[in-house]
Amino acid sequence: MSSRRKARELALQMLFQQDLNKVAAEEVLELFWEVHPAEPGNRKFAELLFKATLENRSHIDELIRRHAQHWRLERMAAVDRNILRLSVSEFLYTETPHVVVIDEAVEIARKFSTAESSQFVNGILDAVREEMEDRPVKEGQHG
């Protein structure tokens, strides 16, 4: 398993914990790293994804809502919802190619959720990717 995938999985676990327990990000980070020590590179990338996702969650959730036809975020499985959030955050706030983000999200969904979830995640992320690639101004910039 690549170290980036491991970092994504760690970030997903932190997002899942924060989503279900509704605690502050700093509390999640402190407790999580006590139980799940990680390589410094994995920890750095996982924290970057975790913090970017939480700091921009309303914008990320809006992008997901636009493409999750007939699905409210609150009704999605918590794992799927957080895989989507994590992946859209990576689209927006890293240089990782979108196709790589989608492939990783699908594999993580297969590992942590269901076969149906991997198809669901793939479809929504592909639609978000298409919207983002059609926009002349990169997300996160105002103009």
pLDDT tens digits along 118-127: 999 999 999 9
Structure tokens at 79: 């794992």
**Contact 80/117 with Cβ under 8 angstroms?**
yes
> What burial class does residue 36 get, using C-beta atoms within 10 Å of its C-beta: 0-12 exposed, 13-18 middle, 19+ buried?
middle
* pLDDT mean across residues, the chain: 92
Give 70's Cβ-side CA count (13 Å radius): 1
Instruction: Round to whole Å and give the CA distance between 52 and 92.
Output: 9
Q: Using 50, 70 and 90 to split pLDDT, how confident is the model at 133?
A: confident
Q: What is the pTM of this model?
A: 0.90
Instruction: Round to whole Å and give the CA distance between 37 and 34.
Output: 6
pLDDT per residue as tens digits for the range 72-119: 999 999 999 999 999 999 999 999 999 999 999 999 999 999 889 999
Q: Which CATH class is domain 3-134?
A: mainly alpha
Domain ranges for the chain, please list them.
Answer: 3-134
